[in-house]
Structure 1
Amino acid sequence: MKFLIFLGTTRDSTPPKPARLGLRVAKACIDALDYPLESVFKPYFSYASSKAPTALSALAEKIESADGFVMISPEYNHSMSPALSNLLNHFGSSLFSYKPSAIVTYSAGQWGGMRAAIGMRTFLSELGCLSVSAMIHIPKAQEVLTEDGAIATHEDQRAWFNYFGRTFYQLDWWAQATKNQRDKIDPHNRMSDFKKDPSQRNAP
């Protein structure tokens, strides 16, 4: 199984401290900072294939080849990171659809970003990568995780491992199941994808 991990924060300043707390949640990730986007919104699928920015083309290929996604976000105003939603909105749902996703949120406070996670379910369902039922929320992430992403307290390692494991087991199970089904029947051949023209939507 091939999983693509998105870290949805570009904040690199203090306060709050520490900056880029999300790096403790995911050290190896597809980071929104790696994909500087034009100030005027222009989705990937609106470019001619040969003229799309190299970074967007490379990410589109990774999204298409992935079997599932891990979406990592802080909480801004009880919602998901605008950096993450902006990045994901550059791609059509046809690249994400028929694959599962897992939601991971974190915060420096006590709620672990769970209010953002609720809204992420709706957002991800519209991309077609339905989230698995188990989610991961990490409150006070700066205390729970060290800078290299390890669990800070040895006594807590097993509990956190089990907590993470439940979500990632579900993600792996669904990714295996959807890949097997996509190998049997290509869903994009059964229903046309919306690309550029509104007439391609299902509504009459």
Structure 2
Amino acid sequence: MKFLVFLGSVRDSTPPKPARLGERVAEACLSCLQGRYREHQFELVDALDYSLGTVFKPHFAYAKSQMPADLDSLAEKIKQSDGYIMVSPEYNHSMSLALSHLLNHFGSSLFSYKPSAIVTYSAGQWGGMRAAVAMRTFLSELGCLSVSSMIHIPKAQDVFAADGAIQEPQDQDSWFDYFTQTFNQLMWWAEATHQQRQLLDPLSMGRTFKRSPSERNAP
């Protein structure tokens, strides 16, 4: 199966240090996933790599001749994936605006009927858990319901080196075992939904909102 790991932070400045704490967390997640689930494919999607402009325009609103290539490529990757890992810091007790802004460019029909896993982090003691509460609602509306287990990493700058390696090598198994509690749930649900999509296209069961919100109105 195919999975996307979304890094939902575009902050690249100091103070505070380090500038891109989320990059360490995402790399650690990838290391765990690629090491423990070798039969599957994982790809990092870094919000910093996408220039989305100042005027919001969703992917499906572009004419084909005007479609930004990077946006269209990401839409296809989302469509082809079986699940998602959402990595976010906590800003004002909520998820990263950069993550929600990137995800909002794509209709829920690309994400729907697939699972997601929530990974949050912070430089302080709470590990971004308050952001995770907000993310559950957001991801549910997007259609990629989050699994019940979540990953919270407090003082992430003390846990991970710049390349995502565990600062204390003897702690790697403990951290990866903790990650695996969540990732195992993600794999189980991804396999279940993958198999069911082969039997029945879920988008054939109802209308998809593509042009107007009225497409989903009650009679």
TM-score with structure 2 setting the length: 0.90
Question: 1:124 corresponds to which residue?
Answer: 139
* SS of equivalent to 2:124: coil
* SS of equivalent to 1:4: strand
Of residues 158, 166, 177, the one that matches 2:181 is 166
Question: 2:23 corresponds to which residue?
Answer: 23
Aligned counterparts of 1:49 and 1:64: Cα–Cα separation in 2: 17
Aligned counterparts of 1:22 and 1:9: Cα–Cα separation in 2: 7
Does residue 149 of structure 2 align to residue 134 of structure 1?
Answer: yes
- Stretches of 4+ moved more than 6 A in 1? none
- What whole-Å deviation, never above 9, does each CA across 1:52-102 have from its counterpart, x for those lacking one? 111110000000000000000000001000000000011110000000000
* SS of equivalent to 2:119: strand
Deviates more, 1:190-199 or 1:106-115: 190-199
Return the offset for 1:161.
Answer: 1.4
Question: 2:11 corresponds to which residue?
Answer: 11
Paired letter, 1:186:
D
Aligned counterparts of 2:169 and 2:47: Cα–Cα separation in 1: 31
Of residues 95, 103, 115, the one that matches 2:110 is 95
Deviates more, 1:147-156 or 1:55-64: 147-156
Matches within 5 A, 1:1-204: 1-27=1-27, 29-204=44-219
TM-score with structure 1 setting the length: 0.97
Deviates more, 1:45-54 or 1:163-172: 45-54
Deviates more, 1:183-192 or 1:45-54: 45-54
* SS of equivalent to 1:50: helix
Kindly indicate which of the two structures has a greater share of residues assigned to helix: 2
Aligned counterparts of 2:98 and 2:186: Cα–Cα separation in 1: 24
Aligned residues: 204
Return the offset for 1:121.
Answer: 0.3
- What whole-Å deviation, never above 9, does each CA across 1:111-133 have from its counterpart, x for those lacking one? 01000001000000000000001
State, as a whole percentage, how many aligned pairs show the same letter.
70
Q: What RMSD over aligned residues (CA atoms) do the two structures have, in Å? A: 1.0
Note the residue ranges of structure 2 that are not aligned, 5 or more in a row: 31-43
* SS of equivalent to 2:4: strand
Return the offset for 1:107.
Answer: 0.5
